Amino acid sequence: MIIERARTAAFSVAPDGAFLIGPVGDVRDLIRGWRGVCHEVQKSRVQLWRDIRAGRFPPPIELGRNSVAWFRVEIETWKASRPRRRYGSTSEADPTRPAYAPPETKGPGGPVTGSQNRKFTNSGNSRA
- pLDDT for the residue numbered 86: 84
List the one residue out of 76, 70, 28, 26 whose CA is nearest residue 52.
70
> Residue 72: how many CA atoms within 13 Å on its side-chain side?
10
Please write the tens of the pLDDT for every residue from 15-37.
Answer: 565 555 455 555 569 999 999 99
Rounded CA-CA distance 97/68 in Å is 55
Please write the tens of the pLDDT for every residue from 71-88.
Answer: 999 999 999 999 988 887
- DSSP 3-state of 6: helix
Residue 101 pLDDT more than 70? no
- pLDDT for the residue numbered 10: 45
Which carries the bigger pLDDT value, residue 92 or residue 117? Answer: 92
What does the domain layout of the chain look like in residue ranges?
2-81
Averaged confidence pLDDT in the chain? 74
Instruction: Cite the DSSP H helix spans in the chain.
Output: 2-8, 33-41, 45-54, 72-81
